[in-house]
Structure formats: structure tokens, C-alpha cells
Structure 1
Amino acid sequence: MSGETWLLVGVVILLAWAYSRWKHSYWSSRGVATPPFLPFLGHLHKTAMLRKRYAFDMDAYYNYGGSKFCGLYSFHKPCLLVGDPELLKQMFVKDFDCFSGKKPLKLTKHDKVISDMLVLKTGEEWKKLRSIMSPTFSSGKMKEMFPLVNQKADDLVSFCLKEARTKPVIDMKHNFGRFTLDTIASCAFGLECNSLGDEKSVFSEKVDTFFKYSAASILKKVFVSIAPRVANALNMQFSSPTTGFFKELALNTIAARREGSKRGDFLDLLLETQSQGEDTGDSSKRPSKSKNVLDDETIVSQCVLFIIAGYGTTASALSYAAFLLAKHPDAQQRLRREINALIEEHGDITYQGVMEAKFLDACIMETLRLYPITVYLERMCERNYRIPGTDITIPPGTVVSCPVWTMHRDPKYWSEPEEFRPERFLPENRANIPNLTYMPFGIGPRSVSAQRFALMETKIVLTKLLLASDLRPAPGYENVTVSFGFGSQSPKAVKLILKPLKDE
């Protein structure tokens, strides 16, 4: 190249670097601390992948003011990390109208099943759908689904005990995953797939494919979200190709339900809600066409969301809880005594008894403190907002994140934070937990709507498993290794020794 060309290239590089420096002066010009960043990328190389994100959040939290708040950059776009409970309460709860949305995910016309999910809705669409979905997870509705979950838990325990007779070590992470899969198939799709006994069932194979990530699939998702118009033209989609299988299955099940008997499952509850909106004779109670957003396609989307939100998350929570109880035999024995006392009182394992079990609840809460499935939370600022107690105003579009994993282990809020101490969450001790330092299901109105269902699943399984067997860590698996992946975290392996208690 000629000297003039090299000079031009040099000028372009210099101007780009100067522009990047200017854009990355946003927080420093406002007196807000910021962790070290790279030109052009900002902190994206640290925040894009979850396996780096949790360590980065911890560094920002303890070393750069993140325990109050600190500034971050995604490319050149300013973001905010907030770790102060009072600020979080003000921003995400009291001023929820300013932070009601999440970071937008740009999708193509081929991703309608995904885009119609509750978690991706914003504004009025989110409010309408949330108001419809929330009653579906009331305690009364959970009682209706209790028998279905109860049966799947029985199947799981029977399968584990059968394995224990021939195998010295049981892969509980795998078995819990099969249980949650069978439960979702039953409660969201009305399907008995029996994945515990049949690893080759079509439903389980489709779910495994749905959650299988490769470098190519991740790159495709990134491309679609960055350039949805180009992706549309190229007939690309963000969601897995197997999404079509679940859509067809759900639509077929909906058609069958309208002609047949009910099961009392999640799908029945949504169809019941839909029919109430359509059939009521009171015009004052009948939703307008614009308000009645629960059409068949929206129901399908919530069924698929059930898989995304409930499959790996509940299996991980169960895996961690079983591992921690295996590691702490005193807590395990105390929990077993509580369960036996409740059975003696209620005559059997009942919804009321399981939900009343205080130490069981405390064990699960402490598990989710140590291993929150969501490492961080994100909300997007929707209009100019002054950070309380400061003169700093953040503009619309600013993503505000909360470092859940780090706050759950901050010794400022938790004595001996690395220790498993369920007593923290007993009724007499809960007042000692500062508000919004414990957030396994999110914060404020956008917290997880299905948390009651997830807790019911977890409590039923642990109750039945501890009644049937004593749990011990398998040799070589005395410690759990956390795998931080694409959008979530889970244990790499949980392998236990199960000793049946029938002969005791």
C-alpha cells in the first residue's frame, strides 16, 4: 500500500480509538467507579459468558464499588451494576414502572413461540399476560396439580431404589433431570413420556436436543439477535428447530382437551382461564379483544416456557439440595424426623403437610442461597431516572444488573456465608435477613411466577426420597463443581449413595 493509504488507515484507527475513549468516559465524567475495560468492547468480554460473569461481578462488587453501584460498558453502551439492597428496593420495586422491562431480545418472524413467552413481554402486553398467568400458580391451583407431581415423585424414588440395588453410586443429577422432564411432559403437555424408564422417548430426545448448544448454534443466536432483519431474509431463527415439535404437540393436546376429560394440569388451567375470558355472560367482566391475550398460540408459548424455565432449574435445585443434605447427615436426620411427624399428623404426604414443613422449607431456601440458579438479574431503564441519593441520571435503555450470586455470599449479610446452615431460614430467624439480600426468584413484580410450582416439586421429591433412603456422597464426589454455562448454572455432577430405609 502507498504511504497515503497507510496514513489514512492510521487516522481511521486513531479516530476510532479516540471515539472509544470518549464513549468510555461516560461513568468517569460522572464520578462513578468502573472496573478496567477494553477499548471498543468495554466489559463485554467479561459479561457475555456466564462462567466469567459471576467472577467479574464479584470483583466489581468488592473492588469497584459494586456493593453500592458501579458503572459498566457493553461495547460503548453504559450499564449499571447495583448491589445495595435499599437501592434495589427503590429501583426494582418502588420505581418498578421505570424498570418493568428486561433487556430486549430481538427475534425474527420465525420465533413467535419464543417472543410470546411471558418472560420476554414488556409494557402493557406483559401486565396483561402476567395478570392472566399469576392465578394459574395460586395455592389452590397447586393443590390440583399435586397428585400429578406426587405420582412422578413416586416414580423417581422407585427408579432410584431399583438402581441402588444394582449400582453402588447413583447419578442423581441425571435422575432429577428425568423427573422434571416427566413432570413437565405431564403438567404442560398431558403426555406420559416415562423418560426415567425410556431414555429414547421422543419427548425426552426432543428436549435434550432443544437444550443442546454448540459453537455454531450460539453464533447463530448471537447473529439473529444482532441482525434480525438479515436473519429474516435468510430464513433463520433464534429458537431451536425442535420448537416446532413442542408447538405441534401442544396444539394437538389443546384440541384433544376441548373434546375430552380434564387432568387438572397446567394446560387445563390455562384453557380454563381462556374460556372464562370468552364465555362469561357479564360484559363488565368479559375482557375486550385487545385485552384477552390468551389465545391458543400464547398458551403454546407458555407451555414451551414451562420447559425452558422448569427443566434444568428445578433439576439443579434438587441436585444441590440432595448433595447438601448428603453432606450434612444431622440436617438430613432432622428433616426426616420433621417429615415423619407431619405424616403422623396428616396421615399421609399431603400438599398442606409438605408446604407446612418448616425445616424442609429452610433447607431448600438455604440451598438456593448457596446456589441460586440465576447468577444475576437484569432490568432495563425505560425513561430518565435519577439514582436515589445522587445527582446521577441514567438514560432510557440503560441495563441495570444485580449480582445475586455475590450478594447471597456477602459476609456483611450472612455469617459464615459458605456454610450450609438451614436454620437461617426458620421462622424465628428470618427477621435477621436484610430485605433484598436473598433473591433466588428475582425481585418485585417480575419475580418468577412459577416459583410456587417449583418449590412444590422440590419439596415433594425431597420428602419422598428421604423417607425411602439415607443419602451419602459417593467417593470422589464429596464436593460439587459448579458449571457456569449459557444463561444458567448447574452442578457438573451429583453422585450419591442411597441406602434404603425400609428395613430400619
Structure 2
Amino acid sequence: MLASEFARERTRGVCVKMLESGVTTGVVVVAAVYVWWWGQLDPFIILLTLTIIASVWYSRRRHSYWSSQGISSPPSLPFIGHLHKIVTLTNYRWELLHELYNEFYQEKCFGMYECFKPVLIIRDPDLLKNLLVKDFSHFTDRRAFGDQEGSLMNEMLANKNGEGWKILRSIMSPTFSSGKMKRMFPLVCQNVQTFISACLEEAKQNEYVNMKDKSGRFSMDNIASCAFGIECNSQSVEKSMFAENAEGFFAVTPWKALRFFLMILFPKAFNAVGLKLDSHEIMFFLRIVEETVKSRENAPKRGDFLDLMLEARGDTNDDNTSVKNVLKDKAMVAQCVMFLIAGYDTVASVTGFCTHLLAKNPKQQERLRQEMQDLVRENEGLTYEGVMEAKFLDACVMETLRIFPPGTLGERVCTKTYRVPGTEITVRPGDLVQFPIYSLHRDPQYWKDPLQFRPDRFMGENKAEIKNFTFMPFGMGPRNCLAMRFALMELKAAVASLVLEVDLQLVPGHEEIILDHSPIILRAKHGIPLIMKPRKTTVHTT
């Protein structure tokens, strides 16, 4: 056999072996050899082929980041990694993670890639304890959005990182103390009574009440009143400008979904194409808060969030210039808007989910009603202390948050090189670490019959037996939800008043909730229809 024929046969054999082994670059090599050996020797084709080979090799090398450390990872596509699974309008992101959570059930963690950005998914509660609390100094930050100068989004506490977050968090924390929440309780109760009246009025006119709609309006009124200092009256037929802009902000469209993913996954590209972080709805809220702040100079105190922010700034030491610089007018406005973004959809959804679960479990509903009736007799009405300390009410809300956590995914950014305890895994600065809250809440290893509504899981000794970091609807550690106490006050006040005044029943054919295709937040897709029959109880709040 001639030397050239021998070389040709050997090259062909190598190419076949590469293809059979599943090596991606094998395809490119076969094409290159074919063009060079059997085709015309074109320099452009050779350069293009070499470029493709180098690019594919680079992609495979970057996507071996986790496998080189012994971490399992689902199959990825060249260049985009797992982006095709993450950015989708037809599937749930949390559902994808839940499938992978079960696929890698024997693993403490597994890896994914957002293009070339490594993402470590932690599914072991003990590792989460280290990352979120014990070794928090290595994971102090969250993913940064497009850094646009003067943007209101970048002033929000949830989007702050580094020293700026630390200072702002220390200023805002006292505004959510029990004493401050008690001052807001009357404002919440006013909105609760409006909410129940609207539900009963709709129940007279229709076969059922859409709790998704009504609880959304309740949440809207609460935020408008407690954060922006205005009366929204969203339960009325004619919507206010505030309600229209808020609903417009939360409306999910294909363009908004694409814009959202571009903002969080490719912030530099987001800025480069001239997109703005602050939508026209956010600018509307900016004007609302600025006008309200001006009107508060000589007005009586309402005890709302805006008053508390003004008090916090007034109590600031004049010598502490760093604190003064953080809490400017724009920063206060940003926190009010964050109140809306973080609190509207979540509280509305959980209120609807909780009433559905109580309607589906009438014995638990009656048990809760009895506790609330005893509470009213003891305190001559619903009080802040009574509502917040009611044990079975708390258990019902917590069990709802377990089954339907509004935030399905938690995330941190590594800020300092970190060796995961007990492993050879190294997480480097810039790497993302995520924890699937939805999956942990439904893991049968930690929760018996996880899909069943059993409030007793959170009662007495059962509550003490819950494994740490398997239940975290508000996150965990120093970067948990700052407004957790306020959210629970809203939820408990609404649910307590509802079961006292209304008998909740399921609509036939609507025994199960169909969830919407939302990237992160759990929400009902087609509403939550409930039959409501009024009771004779009249609730007084103090």
C-alpha cells in the first residue's frame, strides 16, 4: 500500500473512532479532512474549519469546569450550556430544577452552565447551612443587574452588594421590628375588611369568587397604603392609576420575559443595546413617592413604611456620612418600589393558595376557625399580638408556604474562593450558587406525603423535628427576606378574618390548582375559584 493510501486509511479510521466515541469535534475534523484531502484546498475553508475546531474545543473546556472537580452535570450544548432549558416560555424553570434535583438524588450538588458561567446547585441542607450562614462572608452578594448610573433598580436593597448592601440593610432592619409592624397593623386591617366586603359582594352576584383576582387587589391596596402612603381602592370597579401601573408592571408578555432574562443573564448586552432598567411604570412610582415625601413635611404620621424610612433617616447620626449618602431621597423611593416588586405577587399568590387549601380541607378550616373564635373572645377582637402568636394559624400559613413557596429558587454569588466543606469542590469568585427551594419543600426524604396539606407538621414537637434548611420560604441567613414579618402579618390577618366571616368551599371541577408558566414566582394560571358563604361573625380589630 502506498504511503499516501496508508495515511488516508489511518486518518479515516481515526475520524470514525472519534465519531463513534461521541466526540463533538469529530464531526468538524471529518469535515476538515474531507475538504483538505478530497476537495479543493481553499485557505478560507481551512481557516473557518480551524476556527470552528478551536471554538468547540474552548466550549468543551469551559463546560468541563464542574466535571473536572468530580461534580455531575446534565448534558449541555456547545456555547450556550443549559441556557436553552433555562430561557423558555413553555416550561417552568423550577420544574426543570426539580427534575434535575430528583435525577441527581444521590448527589449533594450538581452543576449547570448559563453559557459559560458556572452554576452550582446545592441540594444538601448541611451544605446550605455552611454557605448561607456559617461561611456567609464568601457569599454576600446576589446577581447584579445592568449597572446603569442613576437607575432606581440599582438602589433597591435586594440589588445592592458589598458595603452598600451592608449599610442599607442595617438602616432598614429596625423598620420591620415587631413594634413598627404593630403600628402598621390598623392599616392592614382596614384593607382586610375592604377585601372581605368585596369578596362577599362578588359572592352575591356570581357563583364563585376568583381569589386570585381578589387577593391581588388586597395585596395592591396594602402596598399602596403601607409603602406609598396612598389609598389605591383597587377593589372598586374603576381602577386607580396606581393599580393600572402596578398591574402593567407585573403583566407577563413574551417581550417582558425576554427582557427579564437578558437583564439577569447578560447585563452588559442589556446595557449595550440601550435597554433601560427602569420601566415607565417604575418612573410612575418614583413620581408618586417623591410627591408623597414632600407632602409629609408638616402632615400627621400615618405609621406606614414611608414614615418609618423618614424616621430612620432622621435618626441617622450626622457624622456618619456613609449612612447619609446611602439613605438619600432616591434610595427611599427605591425601597418603596422594592416593597411593591417583592410583596405584591408573593402575598397575593400565597393568600389565594392558603384559602384554596383550607377549602379543600374543611376539617382543618373548622379547626382554624375555632382557634380564631377563641382568640376573638379572649381579646375582644383580632389584635396584632393575637394574630401573630396564634399557633394553628401560623401552622396553616407555613404549610401553605411549604407546598407553594412563592420564591422557588434562591441564589448567591461567590465573592471569595471557597472550598466546600468535606469535598474537593472549589467555588471561585463570580460563580453562582443556587438552592432549589421548591424541591427541598417537596422532598419526601424530609416531608412525609409532601403534597398533602398537613399543618400539624409545624405544631409542637413536629416543628422541632423539621430539618434545618429544608424549609426556607423567605430565604435563610443575613440576606433573607427583610420584610418577612410584614408579609406574615398581611397573610395571617387576611386568612384569620376570612375564616371568621366566610365559609370557604371548592368549586366542583377546580379541586387542583394549575400553575402558570412563571420563571421563578409560583402563581395560579387560571385563577382560584372558591364558593364563599357568609357567616354571622363580625370581626373587630385592635
TM-score by length of 1: 0.94
- Deviation, 1:55, is 2.4
The size of the alignment, in residue pairs, is 496
- Equivalent residue, structure 1, for 2:188: 149
One-letter code of the match for 2:235? L
SS at match of 2:110: strand
Distance 1:220 1:409 in 2: 31
Q: Distance in 1 between matches of 2:198 and 2:263?
A: 42
Matched residue, 1:441: 474
Q: Which stretch shows the higher mean deviation, 344-353 or 211-220?
A: 211-220
Q: Verify: 1:27 aligned to 2:60, yes or no.
A: no
8 A contact 1:324–1:420 mirrored in 2: yes
Change (3 A) 1:231 1:207: same
Asked whether the 8 Å contact 1:472–1:496 carries over to 2, the reply is yes
Counterpart check, 1:262 vs 2:296? no
Q: 1:187-206 residue pairs with structure 2 within 5 A?
A: 187-206=226-245
* Of 94, 99, 104, the match for 1:59: 99
Match of 1:179 in 2: 218
Matching residue of 1:89: 129
**Paired residue for 2:487, among 444, 454, 463?**
454
Q: What secondary structure, in the 3-state scheme, does the structure 2 residue paired with 1:491 have?
A: coil
Residue matched to 1:498: 532
Matched, 1:252 2:286: no
Does 2:355 correspond to 1:315? no
Paired position in structure 2 for 1:354: 387
User: Residues 200-229 of structure 1, C-alpha deviation per residue, up to 9 Å, x if partnerless?
Assistant: 211111111111233233434455566767
The aligned residue for residue 75 of structure 1 is 115
- Structure 1 residues 222 and 371: alpha-carbon distance in aligned structure 2, compared to 1, 3 A threshold: closer
C-alpha contact 1:221 1:238 (8 A) present in aligned 2: no
CA change 1:416–1:456 in 2 (3 A) is: same
C-alpha distance in structure 2 between counterparts of 1:192 and 1:421, whole Å: 37
For residues 383-394 of structure 1, the aligned pairs below 5 Å read 383-394=416-427
Deviation (angstroms), 1:431: 1.1
Is it true that 1:328 corresponds to 2:361 in the alignment?
A: yes
Contact 2:409 2:437 in 1 (8 A): yes
Deviation digits for residues 258-309 of structure 1 (CA, Å, limit 9, x no counterpart) = 12111111111111111111xxxxxxx5451112221111100000001101
Give the alignment partner of residue 377 of structure 1, picking from 387, 407, 410: 410
Instruction: Work out the CA distance in 1 between the residues paired with 2:169 and 2:309.
Output: 12
The alignment's C-alpha RMSD in Å is 2.0
Shift of the 224–363 alpha-carbon distance from structure 1 to 2, 3 Å rule, reads: closer
Larger mean CA deviation between 137-146 and 476-485 belongs to 476-485
The aligned amino acid for 2:371 is: E
State the identity as a percent: 45
Say if 1:172 and 1:319, in contact at 8 Å, map to a contact too. Answer: yes
Given the superposition, is the C-alpha separation of residues 202 and 439 from structure 1 closer, same or farther in structure 2, using an over 3 Å criterion? same
Structure 2: which 5+ runs fail to align?
A: 1-39
Aligned residue identity for 1:244:
M
Q: Residues 465 and 434 from structure 1, CA distance in 2 versus in 1: closer, same or farther, beyond 3 angstroms?
A: same
Distance 1:44 1:235, change over 3 A: closer
Please report how far the alpha carbon of residue 53 of structure 1 lies from its aligned counterpart in structure 2 after TM superposition.
2.1
Does residue 341 (structure 1) correspond to residue 374 (structure 2)? The answer is yes
One-letter amino acid matched to 1:433: I
- Residue 257 of structure 1: CA displacement? 0.6
SS at match of 1:444: coil
The separation in 2 between residues aligned to 1:295 and 1:127, in whole angstroms, is 16
* One-letter amino acid of the structure 1 residue matched with residue 80 of structure 2: L
Take 2:61 and 2:309, find their aligned partners in 1: how far apart are those partners?
51
How far apart in 2 are the matches of 1:61 and 1:231? Answer: 31
**Once the 2 structures are TM-superposed, how far is the Cα of residue 90 of structure 1 from its aligned partner?**
0.8
Closer, same or farther: CA 348–392 of 1 in aligned 2, 3 Å = same
CA displacement 1:73-132 (0-9 Å, x = unmatched): 11122221111111100111000010010112123235x211100000111111111111
Query: Which residue, 442, 455, 464 being the options, matches 1:409?
Result: 442
TM-score normalised by the chain length of structure 2: 0.88
Shift of 1:37: 1.4
Change (3 A) 1:44 1:197: same
- Structure 1, unmatched stretches of 5+, are 278-284
Deviates more, 1:130-139 or 1:57-66: 57-66
Query: 1:16 is matched with which residue?
Result: 55
Larger radius of gyration: 2
Tell whether 2:331 aligns with 1:291: no
Q: What does residue range 468-487 of structure 1 map to in structure 2 within 5 Å?
A: 468-487=501-520
Matched, 1:420 2:453: yes
Residue 30 of structure 1, CA deviation = 1.6
